[in-house]
Amino acid sequence: MEEINLISDTVTRPSKKMLNAMMSAKVGDDVFKNDPTINALEAKVANLFGVEAALFFPSGTMTNQTAIKLHTQPGDQLICDKYAHIYNYEGGGVSFNSGVSCKLVDGHRGMMTASQVEDAINPPDFYHSPLTTLVCIENTTNKGGGACWDFNELEKIKKICVENKLKYHLDGARIWNALIAKKETPKQYGALFDSISVCLSKGLGCPVGSVLLGSEELVHKALRIRKILGGGMRQAGYLAAAGIYALDNHWKRMAEDHLRAKEIGEALKAMATVKKVEPIETNIIIFEVDENQISEAEFLAKLKQRNIHIIAMGQGKLRMVTHMDFTQKMHEYTLLTLASLG
Ligand SMILES: *Cc1c(COP(=O)(O)O)cnc(C)c1O
């Protein structure tokens, strides 16, 4: 069996067809907004979400950081769950780029309730505490195990944002998975948020790329921030072509990744050495081993010996992520391997 990499859904490699689409892209200088393929991708994603404008970026970190920069002033505070990617995995960019602090909410699987958000808002007239100006949510949640939000709760949070004059940002790195799992539409999300970041380089299988979505005005301002952060690229239409190809060909197949993740979850639950498997809604599987029987490192090593690569999350948790390069053959081998390890 060839190497099976379940470390992340970012490990995918572009297929021949995607590479062909990339190689035949018409390109121009995107810093002058003259790359027809990037312009086409931006229009496609903006239309999909029913928003005015979109901007192509090299990474999801940069789209999130740009949105935070645009919605805040130095000294402000944003509200997010304690598991949020913007807080845990963007190198401290919130403080570095925007001079902003995070009020962490103790949510469930990376998701907060509207009343938790309301409680986290600092009174605007109390000048001793930082001014709350932004709420950031993540769907699906990464550290929360691919959990999907209840859309009603997102609407309740929106209401609180409006009442308190807070901006509302969605880190939708894996929104594609949530839309498939919950049978929701991108337009529902486009109508709710002031800005949305989506990744093309996760479940959609592109080598590079993220898109920031919002109003004409926000995206116009984002152009300058992207330039400041060093994210202005030239003939990057070759990369955008991968995005267009992926949206047309790789999105709807994600249900397969979700089904395989659930089946792996069942196989893990049947193992005596596995203590707990978190609920699986999309393509992320987070589980804990019974430390009395086997350590995390031993469990990882046993799978590695059998050519299956997964990752430790700390605090006794391990993670597997299914993706489009994880084939049915690999899936069957993985299920058999887990069963044989007991
Ligand atoms: C991957 C990811 C991002 C962006 O990551 P990049 O590697 O910078 O593209 C943002 N948010 C979440 C939840 C993610 O999983």
Q: To test ligand 1's pocket by mutation, which of 9, 61, 81 has the most ligand atoms within 8 angstroms of CB? A: 61
Quick one: fold of 16-249? Aspartate Aminotransferase; domain 2 (3.40.640)
How does strand 274-277 pair with strand 284-289? Answer: antiparallel
Q: What is the CATH number of domain 253-341?
A: 3.90.1150.10
Q: Average pLDDT of 236-254?
A: 97
Look at residue 189 in the predicted model and tell me its pLDDT.
Answer: 98
Asked whether the predicted pLDDT for residue 162 surpasses 80, the reply is yes
At a CB cut-off of 8 Å and minimum separation 6, what does 92 contact? none
Whole-number Å distance, alpha carbon 85 to ligand 1 midpoint, is 7
Q: Average pLDDT of 149-176?
A: 98
Look at residue 228 in the predicted model and tell me its pLDDT.
Answer: 97
Ligand 1 surroundings by CB, under 6 angstroms: 59-61, 64, 85, 138, 142, 171, 173, 199, 201, 210
Whole-number Å distance, alpha carbon 140 to ligand 1 midpoint, is 11
Q: Kindly report, residue by residue over 102-143, the tens digit of the pLDDT.
A: 999 999 999 999 999 999 999 999 999 999 999 999 999 999
Contact indicator for 219, 172 with CB cutoff of 8 Å? no
3-class state of residue 91 by DSSP: coil
**How many whole angstroms separate alpha carbon 172 and alpha carbon 21?**
25
Q: How confident is the model at residue 316 (pLDDT cuts 50, 70, 90)?
A: confident
Domain assignments of the chain as residue spans, ordered by start? 16-249, 253-341
pTM for the model: 0.97
DSSP conformation letters of 267-336: HHHT-TTEEEE---SSSEEEEEE-TTT--HHHHHHHHHHTTEE-EEEETTEEEEE--TTS-HHHHHHHHH
Q: Which atom of ligand 1 is nearest to the CA of 210?
A: 9
Q: How confident is the model at residue 2 (pLDDT cuts 50, 70, 90)?
A: confident
Q: Which atom of ligand 1 is nearest to the CA of 62?
A: 8
Nearest CA to ligand 1 atom 4: 60
Angle between helices 175-182 and 254-269 (to 10 degrees): 80
Contact indicator for 102, 94 with CB cutoff of 8 Å? yes
**How many whole angstroms separate alpha carbon 82 and alpha carbon 109?**
10
**How many whole angstroms separate alpha carbon 192 and alpha carbon 225?**
23
Nearest CA to ligand 1 atom 6: 60
Whole-number Å distance, alpha carbon 342 to ligand 1 midpoint, is 34
Q: C-alpha distances in angstroms, 297 versus 66, 99, 307?
A: 37, 38, 15
* Distance of alpha carbon 197 from the chain centroid: 8
Q: To test ligand 1's pocket by mutation, which of 87, 142, 283 has the most ligand atoms within 8 angstroms of CB? A: 142
Q: Kindly report, residue by residue over 68-104, the tens digit of the pLDDT.
A: 999 999 999 999 999 999 999 999 999 999 999 999 9
For 228-240, b where at least 16 C-beta lie within 10 A, e where not — what string?
ebebbbebbbbbb
Look at residue 157 in the predicted model and tell me its pLDDT.
Answer: 98
Q: Which atom of ligand 1 is nearest to the CA of 84?
A: 13
Asked whether the predicted pLDDT for residue 1 surpasses 80, the reply is no
> How many CB atoms lie under 10 A from the CB of residue 144?
24
